[in-house]
Amino acid sequence: MRRGAAALVFALGCAGSSARSVDGTRAERPVDTRSASTSTPDAGAPEELEACLERALDDAIRGQTPSEATALYRRARLADKERGADDARVLYSQLVQAHPRSPLVPFVHFRLAQLFHADARDDPTRLAPARLAYEEVLRQPGSGLERAASALLADVLARNGVLDRALADAVRAAEATADGAICAPGARAAGLDVIVAVYPQVGDPKKAAPFTRRLAKDNDEFVMTMLRVSEGYLEQKDESLAERAPDYAVIALDGVLSDARLEPTACRRASDVLDRASSRGAGGVAEARRALTERCGAR
């Protein structure tokens, strides 16, 4: 583990003078994943995940032998809750510098990342230290925070315009595997939110269904995620994508209509997608409408 990594994060966060990402490349197409979330987001994560992570951070010292590191962590958590982010950042950074091998270090990096991530809602320059800190968590396997870190890192990358990498990290977070990760359900939901926001910008609509099917835990999640992806195509504002977006929405929806089971709510949403796509001159709507009628009946 790199001694002083948290201090570097702290220094980057305080400087905050560059609009460039950590790797030095300027964001091309930043994506606000909050518009794709199904719940009220805070620092890029659904409320369920935020509440779970808060409990996990508090529980990090349970079962550990009292030491200078645990005492400093307690002080940092207290400052975090009662005095604000700036005081907490100083104490968290002190812990990593003084106790770089402590098992608390991944939790410290994670919390630093969250603090900068939250700041980035008003100051995009804070995305850089947030990314660095989440990546520090992922370099330290075994904490249980990896899935949540991948989900929130994906959000940071999406908002900084690094879309291919954002999609890859979101997939790692959203995979429907039972790995015992901390806050796994909330991390999956956050990962899916990023996928819904990013896939319409970088993904092939013909491959959207098999891509999503691999991640979905059941038919209902597959259908609802695909409907959100189809809707995402229709909401594209990028000029290079907007003209073909209605066609792409129908193509993506075809992947649902071909073999998935649709509940009444999904039928209504699919019909709405076709109405919106048709109003914008999309091709293939008549065929998709027939397939929808076969699945759902006349509407």
Q: Which pLDDT belongs to residue 146?
A: 95
pLDDT of residue 39: 38
What is the rounded distance in angstroms from the CA atom of residue 233 to the CA atom of residue 256? 15
Q: Supply the pLDDT for residue 24.
A: 36
**pLDDT tens-digit map of 235-272:** 988 777 788 999 999 999 999 998 888 999 999 999 99
Q: What share of the chain is helix, strand, coil (3-state, %, to 5)?
A: 70, 0, 30
Q: How many CB atoms lie under 10 A from the CB of residue 19?
A: 12
CA distance 12 to 129: 6
- By mean pLDDT, which of 12-26, 29-43, 121-135, 201-215 is the weakest? 12-26
Domain ranges of the chain: 1-202, 204-299
Q: Which pLDDT value is given to residue 10?
A: 54
Distance in angstroms (rounded) separating the CA atoms of residues 178 and 138:
18
| Beta carbons within 8 Å of 200's beta carbon, 6+ residues apart | 229, 232, 233, 235, 236, 241, 245, 248
The residues near 79 (Cβ < 8 Å, ≥ 6 apart) are 87, 88, 91
Average pLDDT over residues 152-163: 95
Exposed/middle/buried for 108, CB within 10 Å: 0-12, 13-18, 19+?
buried
List, for residues 2-42, the tens digit of each pLDDT value.
Answer: 545 555 555 545 544 443 333 333 345 667 665 554 433 33
Q: Is 284 left (phi over 0), alpha (psi -120 to 50) or beta?
A: left
Q: What average pLDDT does this structure show over 213-240?
A: 92
Q: Summarize the confidence of residues 42-69 as an average pLDDT.
A: 84
| Higher per-residue confidence, 215 vs 38 | 215
Q: What per-residue confidence (pLDDT) applies to 83? A: 85
Helix (H/G/I), strand (E/B), else coil: 32: coil
Helix (H) / strand (E) containing 41: strand 41-42
Calpha distance 112→227 (Å, rounded): 35
pLDDT tens-place string over residues 177-196: 767 899 999 999 999 999 99
The pTM score is 0.86
Tokens of 164: 């291919």
